[in-house]
Amino acid sequence: MGKKVAGVLGATGSVGQRFILLLADHPDFELKVLGASSRSAGKKYVDAVNWKQTDLLPEFAKSIIVSECTADAFKDCDVVFSGLDADYAGPIEKEFKEHGLAVISNAKNYRREEDVPLIVPITNPEHLDLVNANLVKAKQEGKPRPGFIICISNCSTAGLVAPLKPLVEKFGPISLLTTTTLQAISGAGFSPGVPSIDILDNIIPYIGGEEDKIEWETKKILGALSQDKSQINLLSDDEIKVSAQCNRVAVSDGHTECISLKFKNQPAPSVEEVKQCLRDYVCDAAKLGCHSAPKQTIHVLEQNDRPQPRLDRTRDNGYGVSVGRVREDPVLDFKMVVLSHNTVIGAAGAGILIAEILLAKNII
Amino acid sequence: MGKKVAGVLGATGSVGQRFILLLADHPDFELKVLGASSRSAGKKYVDAVNWKQTDLLPEFAKSIIVSECTADAFKDCDVVFSGLDADYAGPIEKEFKEHGLAVISNAKNYRREEDVPLIVPITNPEHLDLVNANLVKAKQEGKPRPGFIICISNCSTAGLVAPLKPLVEKFGPISLLTTTTLQAISGAGFSPGVPSIDILDNIIPYIGGEEDKIEWETKKILGALSQDKSQINLLSDDEIKVSAQCNRVAVSDGHTECISLKFKNQPAPSVEEVKQCLRDYVCDAAKLGCHSAPKQTIHVLEQNDRPQPRLDRTRDNGYGVSVGRVREDPVLDFKMVVLSHNTVIGAAGAGILIAEILLAKNII
Amino acid sequence: MGKKVAGVLGATGSVGQRFILLLADHPDFELKVLGASSRSAGKKYVDAVNWKQTDLLPEFAKSIIVSECTADAFKDCDVVFSGLDADYAGPIEKEFKEHGLAVISNAKNYRREEDVPLIVPITNPEHLDLVNANLVKAKQEGKPRPGFIICISNCSTAGLVAPLKPLVEKFGPISLLTTTTLQAISGAGFSPGVPSIDILDNIIPYIGGEEDKIEWETKKILGALSQDKSQINLLSDDEIKVSAQCNRVAVSDGHTECISLKFKNQPAPSVEEVKQCLRDYVCDAAKLGCHSAPKQTIHVLEQNDRPQPRLDRTRDNGYGVSVGRVREDPVLDFKMVVLSHNTVIGAAGAGILIAEILLAKNII
Amino acid sequence: MGKKVAGVLGATGSVGQRFILLLADHPDFELKVLGASSRSAGKKYVDAVNWKQTDLLPEFAKSIIVSECTADAFKDCDVVFSGLDADYAGPIEKEFKEHGLAVISNAKNYRREEDVPLIVPITNPEHLDLVNANLVKAKQEGKPRPGFIICISNCSTAGLVAPLKPLVEKFGPISLLTTTTLQAISGAGFSPGVPSIDILDNIIPYIGGEEDKIEWETKKILGALSQDKSQINLLSDDEIKVSAQCNRVAVSDGHTECISLKFKNQPAPSVEEVKQCLRDYVCDAAKLGCHSAPKQTIHVLEQNDRPQPRLDRTRDNGYGVSVGRVREDPVLDFKMVVLSHNTVIGAAGAGILIAEILLAKNII
């Protein structure tokens, strides 16, 4: 078996549990190390975790002894997936990187570093060339193989940018962009996450930090790698203005976003051209033959009441994004509804697909 | 007792039931006639209705014998509230008007007639002067007192325009306006309304006709009565562009709207000026001392996670509108969250307050 | 004004907030002291509390400076309502009692003390005679007026015993009793209470300690005060067997219970006799003219799909209990569905009504 | 390919859609005929159906031309699955039987016929011998192969009897049985099914006919085939008393039941013996190697807050039943919580597994 060795940081948490599910029976990776807090370290995983997934805890993971989150414990890992809470991720992920480890993190801590790729794997895998360039350079300079951190984007950013990328590639820059999100509760984790009294027969029209993340991350993900591949250049406020309004709603999984956009180049394309562009898009991960890559990256739905979270969130196992109601917008050029699976393409699943791309590109 | 005599059309339906609740113990009106379909006519109301309100069916209404929806049956009414379904409202309301009756209707059928006021009572009661002008003219010409129809606006339009009116009055025209709605299920009635399988753990990103209603009705409600008071002049597409995206969510009562707007006059006011303007607004109904008028028309909430439907929808018995998260918008000038009670200020309650205004203005 | 002075312990919590709402504009009590943890003490209440009620924080309470939970701070109170968490209630309530204060507590800590009445105010107010007897005795012995603790029953017990009491009074003892509860999330408080991910599209078939509370408390509440009024004698396991199965469901307020029961005396009464007995029942609090006493103690509903929490929980402001679907049971004698408002008759509201009864009986 | 030819009656309905999903890529059956009302007949299935499943409409089914529900249209089918509404199922299924067709029906119409097996496939497949005996007899008598109807049990009955069967086999008859159900909305279909206003923040403590179905069907399913295999003998009221209380709750899929039972033979087994018996049970369908048979028929869960619908309903693809909280009952012998997937083992899925058993037994 030539499987790569994988580890998971924050293994008992919500994101960590999903990493484990996605790595069970994975053709490319073998999960060997599970790291969690001192409270859990030393215990069998089955005894340390409060498993809250709809799929059963995989047999292979039950008896793994939970490690402390130290680089030493993960030293044999070809790739480490981090589901650590932002409160803890900072120093741990940094230590891992300094010890030459490859970290793919769901935490927000390093997303804004200019030399850290912020990746939606169906959207901007080309930003991973920054990592590759670093590896090549170190090799050329005879230095030891450097570690690196790759950040998974915020969940609601992922759903937003996925349909934008093909549009920008075909029709040129988007100058104005608004999104109003209706976000699932699973995005808030479960310890305790959103209290039920706040979500039953209710809407919370605020998610701390979320609007700022969407507005900022979009500019990085749609930005370009610098000529020397050493950093990601953000789109400027002159190039694109982004406005987000975020709501938490009574949905378990799947973020719905009502978006509007205006192209820089006018006249704008037709509704049918926009839809055709989305339908035709094949993400690089699919071209590379990655195991988890969606067969259809963007599903364009024609029924007027779709996409709906309950019915459409699991398209392509949650790696495909659904777009519906593409129509002209009296204020900007177009409006449409985008649905993405927040715990798959918006979190743990994105990490797995990033690793598959790294493998396909021989970066790990 | 100098109470005005009131009747309700469509008395067994969702809106009709709420009219009855609001008219129980009302200081100005005495509900005497209940009209419904032939299936119900002739029965005691208590036997005809499938009462589905959280308040008990008022005693006084139980033994009223349900009438057919004919002008003759309502001929003694000073005001008739119509909760009729759009499928039936057209000819019935027309007949009532032709027989000199005063009809306040929740149906959409006549909203787009230029000589029919489309009223949000806390927002554009001045449009009722059209009706008064007609009455005066008929009197001067020695003609019999004419009947009239006044339309209640669509529920999601009501919440949207309520905070716009004071802003336009103070800062001048709004040129661009977007709203993404998260609408309660009670807006869809209950026979059967929204199926539960469509709303549990789900969002329906579409409500038939709703977006068009919001985009059109806003232009009428914010428009002006013509010089001769014979018609309402809509704002033109050049004056204001409106874009709506409508969603049905798992909330019982209370429509939440995430809105953005741009003023024609630049520079725009500050966030604090906008909030102060909203706080200071006193609707005419309050000035007139109407029984149901909100003490505070617009509640400006400062907590960053408000308004929330469960916590804020019953402010001023549902006649007050709550606004939160007023902040600058990177794309337009401002964004904010608006919450209004869809079955009160957005439907039956609006009808009652309109009638109270008519009474205060001696129109009925 | 001859209002009694009231205080609230645990004033920032879920139960404490409801005590405050119920005491606003109360004709008998004036709320003057609010106690909370050291974290809150010294602050204005409005600054200390995260107010999460659908009614607004009453004006009078906003500027009250929060006290520490010491007997000294409450020394002028004629009655103290405790919404303290069980983790803190033990020593604090004991200290208050020892300092001669009258404590009505929602905490479970002293419910099982044989000299502490466990009260559902519409059901067993006669157990309060224990307190009175103590006061009389102390007076006769020339001792200082003793303090006392009265416990409010568990919320799901309250709904269960309410319809049993009139049945037992009329038809004799119940020998077998089962209840399966469907309990609202508000019963779990909100810090954080039930996580939303556990309750959306889900049932939790377990509430820690709840089944045992129901099974035990029922035997105390239906038990009798001893001859010398010094203790409550529990019903024995031979007299009544009680079995509870408890579930948490996606309901905000209102506990539904599907109960079955068998009478000791056979033949059992008819269904109609059972319903008539429930309809005829007038609780002592109503006879005493207490302000919050329900006009109708037990509402017997005839529609086959009632009671329903959303439609029926607020009968008599939550002090009335609704019973529906009374029918013969193939296994025991009768089955029926009982709905009670868990935060009113099952918690804070019960405390207020108990205080009103104490006042009516000149105990405070 | 030796696959048997299958047809589906009521193909556009809720149950019909699930039959289609379960028959896609089935190793034993090839779905060739889809029958629906005249309104749909003649259209391609994709154009006739309002597909509301979370899985996509299988490609193979899209272009099938919908047939009328006539025996002639289904004459080549080895087995016909009926998802017809009870309003239509009666004469259609009878005609099919009379034309020699094998019908497995989810409708209630023939469940109470003494020569029609009422089957929960993991529980009483031995009742299918009635059908076989008929076929053998016809063959011996030189008569044409007779058609037959087999009924799928009511959904809530299925979950109830599944754990009872192994208990009865091991510990003898159950004399008293109570169940309080918390039933999912999917059991009510979706045209329109349960209105959302009835289920949001609510419980409906009534499902028409359901309690009677549970109480009656249990006696048939736990009953025995007569000696001559010509009919099913119901358990008498003396042998077992069954009492059901049914509630509709805000759960999409998965019926939870809180059950209690008393054995005829005393002393009753221990809790551990009961759990072991359930764990050890292997249903006949599993022994026969049926494709859809659960690997583990009854899952005994040890965590005190399980089973939960969202987490446990898909065990063994919905063909396994989960049991938790097995404990002594103060009133009867034991109480426990049972969870079953109402649209799988309680409806369409049961039909498929019944057909697999028929195939394994050479009945089709």
All residues at 6 or more sequence positions from B322 whose CB lies less than 8 Å from its CB, including other chains: B298, B299, B301, B306, B307, B312, B313, B315, B338, B339, B340
With CA atoms as reference, the chain D residue closest to C243 would be: D330
The DSSP secondary-structure symbol of C100 reads T
Question: Which of the four pLDDT bands, split at 50, 70 and 90, describes residue D192?
Answer: confident
Question: Which of the four pLDDT bands, split at 50, 70 and 90, describes residue C188?
Answer: confident
d(CA A289, CA C198): 37
Under a CB-based contact definition with an 8 Å cutoff, are residues C338 and C354 in contact? no
Structural domain A155-340, CATH architecture: 2-Layer Sandwich (3.30)
Tell me the HSE value of B223 on the side-chain side, using a 13 A CA sphere: 26
Tell me the HSE value of D259 on the side-chain side, using a 13 A CA sphere: 28
Mean pLDDT value across residues D297-307: 97
**Beta carbons of A247 and B237 less than 8 Å apart:** no
> Dmax over Cα atoms in chain B, in whole Å?
63
Strand, coil or helix: C299: strand
Angle between the D210-221 and D155-171 helix axes, to the nearest 10 degrees?
30
Do the strands A255-263 and A224-225 form a parallel or antiparallel pair, or are they unpaired?
unpaired
Residue D82 has pLDDT above 90, yes or no: yes
Q: What angle do CA B223, B227, B231 make, to 5 degrees?
A: 55
Under a CB-based contact definition with an 8 Å cutoff, are residues B136 and B128 in contact? no
| CATH number for the domain formed by residue range(s) B159-340 | 3.30.360.10
What local confidence, expressed as pLDDT, does residue B2 receive? Answer: 86
d(CA D212, CA A82): 54
Q: Is C317 left (phi over 0), alpha (psi -120 to 50) or beta?
A: left
Lowest mean pLDDT among A99-113, A335-349, B180-194, B278-292: B180-194
Closest among B189, B55, B58, B311 to C312, alpha carbons compared: B55
d(CA C89, CA C69): 10
- D-chain residues within 8 Å CB-CB of A311? 52-54
What local confidence, expressed as pLDDT, does residue A2 receive? Answer: 86
Under a CB-based contact definition with an 8 Å cutoff, are residues D336 and C206 in contact? no
Q: Name the residue ranges covered by the structural domains of chain A.
A: 4-154+348-360, 155-340
What local confidence, expressed as pLDDT, does residue C1 receive? Answer: 53
Mean pLDDT value across residues C281-297: 98
Under a CB-based contact definition with an 8 Å cutoff, are residues B173 and B165 in contact? no
d(CA B261, CA B255): 18
Read out DSSP for A59-126?
HHHHTPBPBPS-TTTTTT-SEEEE---HHHHHHHHHHHHHTT-EEEE-SSTTTT-TTS-EE-TTT-GG
Q: Is C255 known to be catalytic?
A: yes
| Element holding B227 (H helix, E strand) | none
Do the strands A232-233 and A224-225 form a parallel or antiparallel pair, or are they unpaired?
antiparallel
Q: Is A303 on the interface with D (CB under 8 A)?
A: no
All residues at 6 or more sequence positions from A12 whose CB lies less than 8 Å from its CB, including other chains: A36, A37, A40, A45, A48, A49, A50, A66
Residue D361, both tokens:
């037994």
- B-chain residues within 8 Å CB-CB of D186? 197
Do the strands A79-82 and A4-9 form a parallel or antiparallel pair, or are they unpaired?
parallel
**Beta carbons of B197 and D252 less than 8 Å apart:** yes
Residue D354 has pLDDT above 60, yes or no: yes
With CA atoms as reference, the chain B residue closest to D196 would be: B196
Q: Which of B186, B196, B342 to mutate to test the interface with D (most CBs of D within 10 A)?
A: B196
Mean pLDDT value across residues A309-321: 97
Residue D247 has pLDDT above 70, yes or no: yes
Q: Is A194 left (phi over 0), alpha (psi -120 to 50) or beta?
A: beta
What local confidence, expressed as pLDDT, does residue B189 receive? Answer: 75
What local confidence, expressed as pLDDT, does residue B1 receive? Answer: 53
The yes-or-no answer to whether D4-154+348-360 and D156-340 have a common fold is: no
SS3 of chain D: CCCEEEEEECCCCHHHHHHHHHHCCCCCEEEEEEECCCCCCCCEHHHHCCCCCCCCCCHHHHCCECECCCCCCCCCCCEEEECCCHHHHHHHHHHHHHCCCEEEECCCCCCCCCCCCEECCCCCHHHHHHHHHHHHHHHHCCCCCCCEEEEECCHHHHHHHHHHHHHHHHHCCEEEEEEEEEECHHHHCCCCCCEHHHHCCCCECCCCCHHHHHHHHHHHHCCEECCCCCCEECCCCCCCEEEEEEEECCCCCCEEEEEEEEECCCCCCCHHHHHHHHHHCCCHHHHCCCCCCCCCCEEEECCCCCCCHHHHCCHHHHCCEEEEEEEECCCCCEEEEEEECCCCCCCHHHHHHHHHHHHHCCCC
pLDDT in tens, C36-89: 999 999 999 999 999 989 999 999 999 999 999 999 999 999 999 999 999 999
| Element holding B319 (H helix, E strand) | none
The yes/no answer to whether this complex scores an ipTM above 0.85 is yes
What local confidence, expressed as pLDDT, does residue B187 receive? Answer: 85
Which residues pair with residue A81 across a beta bridge?
A8, A104
Mean pLDDT value across residues C257-284: 98
Using the structure block, give the residue that is written with the tokens 């004036």: C30
- A-chain residues within 8 Å CB-CB of B251? 201-203
D32 to chain B, closest Cα gap in Å: 29
Closest among C324, C282, C284 to C301, alpha carbons compared: C324
Question: Which of the four pLDDT bands, split at 50, 70 and 90, describes residue B192?
Answer: confident
Under a CB-based contact definition with an 8 Å cutoff, are residues A150 and A144 in contact? no
Residue B354, both tokens:
């309109």
- C-chain residues within 8 Å CB-CB of A194? 195-197
d(CA D268, CA C262): 22
| Domain D4-154+348-360 classification at class level | alpha beta
As to burial, measured by CB atoms within 10 angstroms (0-12 exposed, 13-18 middle, 19+ buried), residue B353 is buried
Q: What angle do CA A229, A231, A235 make, to 5 degrees?
A: 115
Of D54, D200, D310, the CB nearest to A310: D54
Strand, coil or helix: C96: helix
Under a CB-based contact definition with an 8 Å cutoff, are residues C156 and C242 in contact? no
Please report, rounded to a whole number, the percentage of residues in chain A having pLDDT higher than 90. 97
Mean pLDDT value across residues B275-297: 98
Residue D187 has pLDDT above 90, yes or no: no
Question: Which of the four pLDDT bands, split at 50, 70 and 90, describes residue A337?
Answer: very high
d(CA A257, CA A175): 18
The DSSP secondary-structure symbol of B320 reads S
User: Beta-carbon neighbour count of residue D65 at 10 Å?
Assistant: 13
Give residues 181 to 200 of A whose Cβ lies within 8 Å of B.
Answer: 182, 198, 200
Alpha-carbon distances, residue D148 vs D89, D115, D127 (angstroms)? 14, 10, 13
d(CA D121, CA D161): 11
d(CA C163, CA C274): 10
Closest among C304, C284, C302 to C294, alpha carbons compared: C284
C276: amino acid identity, one letter: Q
What local confidence, expressed as pLDDT, does residue B200 receive? Answer: 97
**Beta carbons of B250 and D196 less than 8 Å apart:** yes
CATH 3.30.310.80 fits D156-340, yes or no: no
d(CA C36, CA C14): 12
- A-chain residues within 8 Å CB-CB of C311? none
The DSSP secondary-structure symbol of A204 reads B
Residue D1 has pLDDT above 70, yes or no: no
Mean pLDDT value across residues D252-270: 98
Residue A291, both tokens:
């195991």
All residues at 6 or more sequence positions from A260 whose CB lies less than 8 Å from its CB, including other chains: A176, A177, A178, A179, A329, A331, A332, A333, A334, A335, B178, B243, B245
Q: How many CB pairs under 8 A join B and D?
A: 58
Strand ranges across the sheet with A334-340: A241-248, A174-183, A255-263, A334-340, A321-328, A298-301
Average pLDDT for chain D: 96
pLDDT in tens, A234-274: 999 999 999 999 999 999 999 999 999 999 999 999 999 99
Q: How many CB pairs under 8 A join A and C?
A: 58
Mean pLDDT value across residues B298-315: 97
Mean pLDDT value across residues C177-193: 89
d(CA B242, CA B258): 13
Closest among D325, D315, D304 to D349, alpha carbons compared: D315
d(CA D315, CA C57): 47
What local confidence, expressed as pLDDT, does residue A245 receive? Answer: 98
Residue B262 has pLDDT above 90, yes or no: yes
Mean pLDDT value across residues C99-122: 97
What local confidence, expressed as pLDDT, does residue A312 receive? Answer: 97
Residue C261 has pLDDT above 70, yes or no: yes
Strand, coil or helix: C1: coil
What local confidence, expressed as pLDDT, does residue A1 receive? Answer: 53
Residue C179, both tokens:
């209840």
d(CA B8, CA B103): 10
Question: Which of the four pLDDT bands, split at 50, 70 and 90, describes residue C192?
Answer: confident
User: Beta-carbon neighbour count of residue C269 at 10 Å?
Assistant: 18
d(CA D183, CA D1): 40
Do the strands A255-263 and D255-263 form a parallel or antiparallel pair, or are they unpaired?
unpaired
Question: Which of the four pLDDT bands, split at 50, 70 and 90, describes residue A281?
Answer: very high
d(CA C196, CA A192): 8
What local confidence, expressed as pLDDT, does residue A12 receive? Answer: 96
Under a CB-based contact definition with an 8 Å cutoff, are residues A89 and A37 in contact? no
Mean pLDDT value across residues C6-33: 97
Q: Which of A191, A197, A202, A313 to mutate to test the interface with C (most CBs of C within 10 A)?
A: A197
Number of H helices, E strands in chain C: 12, 14
With CA atoms as reference, the chain D residue closest to B248 would be: D196
Q: Is B291 known to be catalytic?
A: no
Catalytic option among A127, A255, A299, A341? A255
